[in-house]
Every structure is written in structure tokens, then in C-alpha cells.
Amino acid sequence: MADYRLHTIFYILTSLLSLAVLHWTVHKVLLSISRSKFKKANNCQPIPKYPNKDPIFGYDYWHALNKAAESRTLLSWLREQYRLYGNTYYARLQTANVISTCDPENLKAMHSTKFKDFAIDSRRKFAFLPLLGAHSVLLANGAAWEHKRAMLKPSFSRSQYTNLPLFERHVGHLIEAVRVENTKKGQVDLAEFFLCLTVDITSELMYGTSIELLTNGNKDLVRDMTQSAEGGHARWLLVFLANIIGNSTFSKSVSKVRNFMKRFVDEAISYRQHSESRSISAKPTARNFEGQQGTEPLDVKGRVIYLQQLSLGTRDRKAILDELTTILFAGRDTTAALLTNLFFVLAHRSDIYDKLRAEISVLDGERPTFEQLKGFNYLQSCLNEALRLYPVIPINTRMAVVDTTLPVGGGPKGQSPIFVSAGTNIAFHVTALHRRKDLWGEDAEDFLPERWEKIQGQGAWMYQPFGGGPRNCPGQHLSLAEAAYTVLRIVQEFSMITGRDSEPWTELIALTCTNANGAKVTLTEA
Ligand code: HEM
Ligand SMILES: *[C@@H]1O[C@H](CO)[C@@H](O)[C@H](O)[C@H]1NC(C)=O
């Protein structure tokens, strides 16, 4: 009897297993048939492959990538791979399928024409979740992202980035602090000061109150923010190993930063209570976002403050904390990196510095209007060129959420579409794109602001410092105005800068990429 029962159970189990295998096989065969049809219909051609020695775990590619990252040569290593395998190629990396690309057509498809087929990948989420939090706009997808994006929009209006007196106050603090250090030590690393300046400006614009790092000297916060960003990048490189290894420096700095931010969450909550008691029923909706007056929370100067905007959208403290932390990092590392990279160049190129001084001399030492600032073409070209040669976000990723295609990279010449299966990661490399000689000319490696006199307004997808499409950088105008104003004021105050560093530009990749050696200079008073 017992024997018979066992037999039946065994029989049922093996039948179920066979059914499952059959089901899986049929599924795979059908998928493969429908995929070949799809490939054929879309004229997809094979993509060049990185010669993985380990085609299952992709350990070799990962190892090579990490070795390059450790020696701070990741950007040039990546460019070398493109030279070897083509501008779009496939590799296996830590059990993931990765397509790497520096083709403008592919960026356009991913960011714009096929926007819905691609999402923020789990690797970015894993790396930056502890710091930015699950509610961060930088990690969100789908409807959640759309909502967050709509909440951001009014805080990036023209009235924010044309507010030159606000910039002046903080840049004034920067110039004072830099002057003191320059006099005391005979030289100064501008990088540290830029990281404070951008925090002070971003917090005033986005929270309504400035953190004032340039005057209160909260060095701990500066360090903790830097370690948080760098530790995030370390997680991005390690992926699941990061959980096994752990990182107490990173964890401690993240919790200190997020603790510091809680005062702004309190402020948001009390703003909400305050507005409720005045019965302002301002629920932010997509309808009133095009700068129309009405239900948005406005401060006295007619600006929309992100902190207030957020507080009216949610009561969730964690959500507010995540979003406020995200915007501070997005506004800090980026513009600071741009300024550091540009001043690193200026420190060694007095010809460019002199030309800048000549251009703005029409101001006769006075403060510019916003229109004047925008009208200084050489100044704007210097910023464009710094972002071209040293893009602040040189490596970025997406993931295909459905089976789809990218327009180029297939076939012998790399000019045919390629098939991209759901779940494939796409890595795109902006430094490689910005230094392609076939796109930019033989002088692609040179810092040449004059090139922008010819190419203004053209080739949007071959110049991608701010991304493109619906998910482009909302802070673009703000950061360019902020950076232009800062450069202009430093150039007004100092007649000459001298580089104090003979090292070449060296990558330091965290949330963004900047010169590892900063911008060490000696300044001469005008
Ligand atoms: C030189 C300065 C800057 C550069 C080069 C830059 C670059 C970028 C890029 C490339 C993206 C797209 C990321 C992606 O698609 O994966 C982005 C997104 C973003 N940036 Fe910037 N950024 C800069 C300054 C700023 C500033 C000053 C702020 C705010 C104060 C800011 C806020 C954001 C936000 C919130 C996003 C996320 C947008 C979204 O996912 O919808 N950025 N930025
Ligand atoms: C740990 O985090 C720090 C910054 O907080 C970073 O510099 C370091 O590379 C990380 N180490 C590892 C092993 O991830």
C-alpha cells in the first residue's frame, strides 16, 4: 500500500517536472521564433562582441573594468574598447548582458524616440539607494517618475536661474574665502570651494534657506557628502559583492548626511501645517505647471521653492528626505565638477584666461545683467568646451524593459539596427562620444572654445552633457548660469591665475566625474 502511494507521488512529481520542462522548452522555442521574426522585420544585424573568456559570469570584463577604475583610467580604457570593437558592442558583465555605445543615433533612440522602451536599471538603483532613497527621482521609473518630474519642474523656472543677486551673494562669499586662503598659503585648491558654493546656492534655491557652507565652515558635512558620493560609485562597481564586503565609511557618512537633512524635512512639514492652517489648498497638479500663477506655493519673490512644493504633495517624511537629498547632490557635484575642470584648464592656459578677461572688460568691473551674461559668447564656449572634453556624467546606463532595437551598431560597418532583448543593460559613454574624431574633427582632444563659433545649435545628439529627451537634466539652465556667473566674477577679481599642479587631468568618478587633483592655483589680484 505504502509502496503504491510512493509510486503515485513519484509519478505525479515526474509528470509535473516533465510538463514544466516541456513548457519551458516550448516557451523558449516560441520566443526564439518570434524574436527571429522581430529581428528580420527590423533588419537587425549581429553586433560586435567583446571576446569574453568567461561568457557566463563575465568575470573577465568586470575584472578589466575594475582594474581600469582602480588606476583611474576607466574613461580611457572604455575609449580603447570602442577603438577595438566598434562604437557599439556587446559584453557579458557580472552575469548581465551589456551593450556599450557611443553612437549619437543610439542615444537619440534611447532618450527620445524609443524613450518608453528603456528605464533606469537596477544597478544604479542598487548603488545609490542607501544615499538617495527609494523615492529619489534619479532612481524612479514609470508613473512614479513622471509625477516626481512634474513636481520638480516649477522650481527650475527662469526666475530661479536669472536671479543673479542670489548668485552674487554666494559667489561673493567664495571670492572672500578663496582670497583669504590664497594670501595665507600662496595657493588655493578651488575644487573644495566650488563644492561649498554649489551646496549654498542649491539649498537656497531649492529649500528656501542656504546651508551657507562657505561662511559657517561645516567641514564635516563637506567630507561626508564627498564620501557618500564616492561610496555610491564603489557600490556601482562592486554590485552584489558590495553587500558582502560592506563599507562602514560609506554607511556612516550616508547616515550623517541624511541626519543633517532632517532639519529641512521638519521645515517642509511645518510649512505644510502652516499652509493648512491658512487653508491654502494648493495641491500641485500638472495643469498649473507652465509658470501660471495660482495654486503653486510661491515665496515673496515669486519663486517656487521645491521644499514647499514637495511638502504639499506628500506627508511621507521619508519621501521628502529622499527627494531633498537627491536634489542637493544633483546640484552640488555637477556644477562644482564643471567649474573645477574648467579652472584646471584655465590654470594652464593663460591665453584663454586673457581672452575671457578681454571679453568681459566691457563691464568695467560692474555686475552683468542676465542678458549680458548670456551674451558673452567666449565665456559660454568655454563652459561648452569644458563639458565636452570633461563631461561631468561620463558614464550612464539604462535597461531595456521590452524586446526592442537600437538603430546602429549591427553588421560589418556597424550601420544596421541591432536587436536588444528585454533586460539588456545599455551603457553609454559620453567622453568617448565627445572625443570621436569622425564627429568632432582631428582636434577632438584639444580644448578649443573657438570650435563653438561654428557648431552652435547643431548635432544635438553628438553633444550630450545634459542628456536628452523627457529625462534630460532639468538643472541645465541653472547650472550654466551659475557657472558662467562664477567664472565671470573670478575673472573680474583676479588678473591672472597660475597652475600649481603639473599632473595631467585625472578622473575622479563618484556621482559625477571631476579632476582628482582639483584645481590648485595661485591667484593674482586685478
Ligand atoms: C554641469 C551641471 C550639470 C550636468 C552636466 C548635469 C547632467 C545631468 C544629466 C546627464 C542628467 C540625466 C541623467 C540620466 O538620464 O540618467 C541629469 C539629470 C538630472 N539633473 Fe542634472 N546636471 C547638472 C546640473 C544640475 C543641477 C544644478 C541640478 C539641480 C539643482 C540638476 C538636477 C538634475 C535632476 C533632478 C536630474 C534627474 C532628472 C530625471 O531623472 O528626470 N542637475 N543631469
Ligand atoms: C567605501 O566607501 C568609501 C567612501 O565612503 C570609498 O572611498 C571606498 O572606495 C569604499 N570602499 C569599498 C571597498 O567599497
Distances (CA, A) of 266 to 52, 135, 227, 319: 52, 17, 25, 13
Q: What's the pLDDT at 289?
A: 33
User: How far is ligand 1, taken at its centre, from the CA of residue 225, in Å?
Assistant: 17
Residues flagged as binding site for heme: 473
Q: What's the pLDDT at 376?
A: 97
User: How far is ligand 2, taken at its centre, from the CA of residue 512, in Å?
Assistant: 15
Ligand nearest to the CA of 235: 2
Say whether 436 sits in a helix, a strand or coil.
coil
Angle at 360 between CA 356 and CA 361, to 5 degrees: 110
Nearest-CA residue for ligand 2 atom 8 is 231
Does ligand 1 come within 6 angstroms of the Cβ of 202? yes
User: How far is ligand 2, taken at its centre, from the CA of residue 230, in Å?
Assistant: 7
Q: Counting atoms of ligand 1 from 1, which one is nearest the CA of 137?
A: 40
Distance (Å, whole) CA 269 – CA 307: 9
Q: What's the pLDDT at 286?
A: 33
Q: Counting atoms of ligand 2 from 1, which one is nearest the CA of 253?
A: 5
Does ligand 2 come within 6 angstroms of the Cβ of 226? no
- Please give the chain's pLDDT, 526 residues, in tens: 567 777 888 888 888 888 888 988 999 999 999 999 999 999 999 999 999 999 888 999 999 999 999 999 999 999 999 999 999 999 999 889 999 999 999 999 999 999 999 999 998 999 999 999 999 999 999 999 999 999 999 999 998 999 999 999 999 999 999 999 999 999 999 999 999 999 999 999 999 999 999 998 788 999 999 999 999 999 988 887 888 888 999 999 999 999 999 999 999 999 988 887 775 544 443 333 333 333 444 444 567 899 999 998 889 999 999 999 999 999 999 999 999 999 999 999 999 999 999 999 999 999 999 999 999 999 999 999 999 999 999 999 999 999 999 999 999 999 999 999 999 999 999 999 999 999 999 999 999 999 998 876 556 899 999 999 999 999 999 999 999 999 999 999 999 999 999 899 999 998 899 999 999 999 999 9
Does ligand 2 come within 6 angstroms of the Cβ of 510? no
Residue (of 302, 103, 323, 127) closest to 228 by Cα position: 127
Q: Residues 45-64, buried b or exposed e (16+ Cβ, 10 A)?
A: bebbebebeeeeebebbbee
Distance (Å, whole) CA 485 – CA 197: 12
Which residue is it, cell 548581465?
96
Q: What's the pLDDT at 458?
A: 56
CATH homologous superfamily of 133-339+465-491: Cytochrome P450 (1.10.630.10)
Q: What's the pLDDT at 341?
A: 98
Q: What's the pLDDT at 13?
A: 86
Where does 44-130+394-445 sit in CATH, by number? 3.30.43.20
Q: What's the pLDDT at 316?
A: 94
Name the residue ranges covered by the structural domains of the chain. 44-130+394-445, 133-339+465-491
Does ligand 2 come within 6 angstroms of the Cβ of 353? no
pTM assigned to the model: 0.92
Distance (Å, whole) CA 256 – CA 252: 6
Distances (CA, A) of 388 to 108, 348, 376: 17, 18, 19
User: How far is ligand 1, taken at its centre, from the CA of residue 193, in Å?
Assistant: 21
Nearest-CA residue for ligand 2 atom 6 is 231
Q: Counting atoms of ligand 2 from 1, which one is nearest the CA of 234?
A: 14
User: How far is ligand 1, taken at its centre, from the CA of residue 474, in Å?
Assistant: 6
Output the nine-digit C-alpha cell for 125: 538603483
Does ligand 2 come within 6 angstroms of the Cβ of 234? yes
Distance (Å, whole) CA 431 – CA 350: 25
User: How far is ligand 2, taken at its centre, from the CA of residue 421, in Å?
Assistant: 33
Q: What's the pLDDT at 434?
A: 97
Which residues does residue 410 pair with via DSSP β-bridges, in sequence order?
A: 416
Q: What's the pLDDT at 459?
A: 66
